[in-house]
């Protein structure tokens, strides 16, 4: 029976199974997911002298659980609807109109690629935080590529490349992503916007991924270090030998070793995540990204559903004149955002980030133009919020040192922040700003993690002006623009009330003036531009 994907609006009513090769994939996935439980049962059984049949029974149960998905999952594309039915005891039916599809992710971990499979995740309009994406795991790679083409590019299925259900779609050495790109390029020419430059790997240690990777590896290794007595003895011996050289040398050696380890982990994570990264624009009206070394991911975003971009500049990347870019778009939901489906560039030079942002939204003033500063009240709040807590901490440390004998290191830790607070406050105020262009509302904030949000004005569905007790005393408010895309709420912090009211009036229209406490309308572009 042929399992070629039928046209979106002309499919038949037949329910289809996922590819039969998933019977080899899902048991492995379930075994990995239950690996900690299997490990606990194994070691507890050995220590208690329990029969080994328990371990085998648990492993068999995990395998059966993984295989049951093939028997209980059906999907079909019929009458302009995408339907997914799944579950054994608790049956669920997910349905969405095909014309509401906004994003399509096609991913392939190593075990999928070896079998010529891919996983398709479909995001739709109105996909909020609690929305559930339609996931087809797993389809033959050519079928997944054709399905993505129909959903986003509206191309007809190629009958000469129909794939029989259950047949092997390519050899183990053939990458599924090649077939996806061939299918797309034959139907819709593409324009290359960004391609990974190997020299960008130098930015990897300047992100937080290295610290997260190091912590994860250390936490995992610490749990099982006791099982390898020789390795533990060697590690402790090396630490003791370094300690005999003196405290100063041991601290320096530890810092250098940690820096090298974190850098290596960060570079490894960067290559695994962004290897082969490409951002292309298709004439069908979509942006298409491909990335990944072991687990490859292809994401298509419908351009008319993009509501802006976010330019992120964590402190390390900002010091190196670099950053990263992501799209503000509908249909991703929380899960899609966590998987990086909205990324438009890897950590890259700022010039590349800005050029890509201009290519996506077409508004160079919003991308790199000056911002309107928020005034002296916002500056005072930055310094007050930075200095008061650190001054209290330093005073408490000094008082405690008179009561008990504190080590000099603790004294240093308690009082150094008050010396750094003014620099942090000045940097936070320098980052604070907003701007209005004919097409976009721009807000920026942050010091350790600075972010410039460029939100399309026609995508704003509401504006909230809120003031806390302390903001009211300072005469400032927080303006929050609400949209159905991205983070859904984008805030301009500590604006003077008149300016916030003027911005809201321009973005939403004169209806805001009917409810404003103040009749005045200040020019939202007035004021000194922050640098």
Nearest alpha-carbon partner for 434 in 423, 421, 422, 443: 443
pLDDT value, residue 177:
38
Residue 130 domain-assigned (yes or no): yes
pLDDT value, residue 202:
92
Domain boundary among 249, 274, 299: 274
Question: For the CA atoms of 172, 176, 177, 183, what is the dihedral angle to 10 degrees?
Answer: 140
Residue 460 domain-assigned (yes or no): no
Q: What angle separates helix 376-403 from helix 408-431, to the nearest 10 degrees?
A: 180
Residue 489: is its pLDDT beyond 50? yes
Q: Could you give the percent of the chain with pLDDT greater than 90?
A: 34
Domain boundary among 239, 274, 309: 274
pLDDT value, residue 209:
61
Q: Which position has the token pair 């590019």?
A: 153
Residue 190 domain-assigned (yes or no): yes
**Selected residue with higher pLDDT from 31 and 512:** 31
Sign of the four-CA dihedral 56, 59, 65, 66: negative
Summarize the confidence of residues 419-445 as an average pLDDT: 94
Residue 22: is its pLDDT beyond 50? yes
Residue 508 domain-assigned (yes or no): no
Domain boundary among 274, 298, 327: 274
- Which H or E element spans position 200? none
Mean pLDDT is lowest, of 3-12, 250-259, 372-381, for 3-12
Q: For 70-93, what is each residue's pLDDT tens digit?
A: 888 888 887 778 888 888 778 888
Q: Print the domain residue range for 281.
A: 1-18+73-196+275-362
Residue 47: band (very low, low, confident or very high) from pLDDT cuts 50, 70, 90: low
Mean pLDDT is lowest, of 42-46, 116-120, 231-235, 310-314, for 231-235
**Selected residue with higher pLDDT from 427 and 176:** 427
Number of H helices, E strands in the chain: 17, 21
pLDDT value, residue 224:
52
Mean pLDDT is lowest, of 30-34, 159-163, 308-312, 452-456, for 159-163
**Residues 112 and 298: beta-carbon distance below 8 Å:** no
Asked if residue 263 and residue 280 are part of one domain, the reply reads no
Give whole-number Cα distances, 384 to 391, 398, 446, 496, 520, in Å: 10, 21, 16, 17, 29
Asked if residue 270 and residue 280 are part of one domain, the reply reads no
Asked if residue 423 and residue 327 are part of one domain, the reply reads no
Distance CA 364, CA 485 (A): 21
Asked if residue 301 and residue 394 are part of one domain, the reply reads no
Asked if residue 298 and residue 253 are part of one domain, the reply reads no
């Amino acid at each position: 029976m042929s399992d070629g994907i039928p046209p979106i609006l002309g499919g038949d009513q037949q329910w289809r199974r996922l590819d039969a090769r998933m019977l080899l994939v899902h048991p492995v996935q379930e075994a990995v997911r239950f690996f900690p439980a299997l490990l606990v049962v194994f070691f507890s059984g050995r220590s208690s002298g329990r029969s080994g049949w328990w371990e085998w029974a648990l492993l068999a149960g995990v395998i059966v659980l993984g295989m049951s998905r093939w028997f209980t999952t059906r999907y079909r594309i019929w009458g302009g609807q995408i339907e997914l039915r799944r579950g054994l005891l608790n049956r669920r039916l997910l349905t969405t109109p095909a014309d509401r599809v906004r994003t399509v992710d096609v991913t392939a971990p190593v075990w999928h690629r070896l079998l010529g499979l891919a996983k398709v995740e479909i995001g739709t309009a109105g996909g909020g935080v609690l929305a559930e994406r339609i996931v087809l795991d797993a389809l033959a790679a050519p079928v997944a590529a054709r399905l993505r083409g129909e959903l986003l590019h509206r191309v007809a299925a190629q009958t000469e490349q129909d794939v029989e259900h259950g047949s092997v779609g390519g050899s183990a050495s053939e990458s599924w992503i090649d077939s996806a790109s061939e299918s797309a390029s034959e139907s819709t020419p593409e324009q290359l916007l960004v391609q990974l430059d190997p020299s960008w790997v130098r930015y990897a240690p300047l992100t937080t991924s290295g610290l997260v990777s190091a912590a994860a590896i250390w936490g995992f290794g610490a749990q099982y270090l006791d099982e390898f007595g020789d390795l533990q003895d060697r590690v402790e011996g090396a630490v003791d030998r370094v300690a005999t050289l003196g405290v100063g040398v041991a601290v320096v050696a530890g810092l250098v070793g940690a820096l090298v380890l974190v850098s290596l982990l960060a570079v490894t994570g960067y290559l695994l995540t962004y290897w082969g990264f490409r951002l292309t624009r298709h004439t069908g009206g979509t942006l298409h990204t491909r990335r990944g070394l072991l687990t490859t991911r292809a994401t298509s975003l419908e351009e008319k559903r993009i509501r802006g971009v976010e330019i992120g500049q964590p402190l390390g990347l900002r010091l190196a004149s670099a950053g990263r870019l992501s799209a503000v778009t509908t249909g991703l939901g929380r899960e899609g955002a966590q998987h990086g489906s909205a990324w438009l560039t890897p950590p890259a030079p700022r010039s590349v980030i800005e050029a890509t942002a201009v290519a996506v939204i077409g508004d160079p003033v919003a991308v790199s133009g000056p911002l309107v500063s928020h005034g002296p009240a916002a500056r005072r709040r930055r310094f007050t919020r930075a200095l008061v807590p650190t001054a209290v901490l330093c005073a408490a440390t000094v008082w405690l040192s008179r009561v008990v004998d504190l080590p000099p290191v603790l004294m240093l830790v308690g009082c150094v922040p008050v010396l750094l607070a003014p620099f942090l406050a000045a940097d936070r105020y320098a980052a604070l700003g907003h701007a209005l262009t004919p097409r976009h509302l721009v807000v920026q904030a942050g010091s350790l993690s600075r972010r410039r949000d460029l939100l399309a004005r026609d995508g704003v569905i509401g504006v909230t002006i809120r003031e806390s007790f302390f903001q009211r005393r300072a005469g400032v408010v927080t303006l929050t623009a609400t949209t159905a895309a991205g983070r859904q709420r984008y805030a301009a912090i500590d604006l003077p009330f008149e300016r916030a009211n003027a911005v809201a009036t321009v973005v939403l229209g004169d209806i805001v003036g009917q409810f404003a406490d103040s009749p005045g309308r200040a020019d939202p572009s007035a004021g000194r531009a922050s640098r």
